[in-house]
């Protein structure tokens, strides 16, 4: 089975991606290739952060790889937290503090629309490709659900009445922003 590195140590993301792509590829994490350093994310867009992580792995470890950058964009907050989603409440990254800050920022806002966006950068040989996924939805004002991670307990995707955190991982993996982008990556890889 062909090996491909997913440039992450986020166990939640890794499990999500392995569940989607594992039948086709052996997905290695940064830990699996002994990359223990923190890869900087200094970009101002999801695309910039994703490609910088992928290039770091390709240049320093030589593996075909892909990296993602994802975030929540809230219309009423001028698309914040966006690229700063993981560090919205400051360093070090803390999901609980990020959620609390978002809930505080959304108090009194009538406009609740939001979207989760993912950009995947893929590097292999001479290929440098991008795959994007987006799920539209809205922010609720009370945490609901215990599955998922990050902002999932506050986000209800369009067409549903439950949050990402109330969905099973299988259900979320069918419709999530990351699932959409990963499916595009899989279709590309299998079509080669």
The structure tokens listed for 61 are 């470890």
Question: Is 152 marked active-site?
Answer: no
Q: Is 136 left (phi over 0), alpha (psi -120 to 50) or beta?
A: beta
Task: Give CA–CA dist 30/67, Å, rounded.
Answer: 11
Question: CA nearest 68: which of 12, 2, 113?
Answer: 12
Name the catalytic one among 69, 126, 127, 141: 69
Which residues fall within 8 angstroms of residue 69, CB to CB, at 6 or more apart? 41, 43, 46, 47, 49, 50, 53, 83, 118, 119
Question: CA nearest 9: which of 68, 52, 59, 96?
Answer: 68
The structure tokens listed for 174 are 């069918």
Task: Give CA–CA dist 192/188, Å, rounded.
Answer: 7
Other residues' Cβ atoms within 10 Å of the Cβ of residue 77: 18
Active site members = 69
């Amino acid at each position: 089975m062909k090996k491909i590195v997913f440039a992450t140590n986020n166990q939640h993301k890794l499990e999500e991606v392995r569940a989607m792509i594992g039948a086709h590829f052996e997905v290695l994490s940064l830990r699996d290739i002994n990359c223990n350093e923190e890869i900087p994310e200094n970009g101002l867009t999801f695309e910039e952060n994703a490609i910088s992580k992928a290039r770091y792995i390709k240049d320093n470890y030589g593996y075909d790889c892909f990296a993602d950058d994802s975030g929540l964009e809230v219309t009423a907050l001028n698309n914040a937290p966006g690229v700063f989603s993981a560090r919205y409440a400051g360093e070090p990254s803390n999901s609980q503090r990020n959620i609390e800050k978002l809930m505080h920022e959304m108090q009194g806002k009538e406009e609740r629309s939001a979207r989760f966006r993912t950009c995947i950068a893929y590097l292999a040989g001479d290929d440098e490709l991008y795959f994007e996924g987006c799920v539209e939805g809205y922010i609720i004002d009370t945490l609901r659900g215990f599955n998922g991670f990050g902002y999932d307990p506050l986000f209800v995707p369009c067409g549903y009445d439950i949050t990402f955190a109330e969905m099973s991982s299988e259900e979320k993996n069918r419709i999530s922003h990351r699932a959409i982008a990963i499916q595009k990556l899989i279709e590309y890889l299998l079509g080669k």
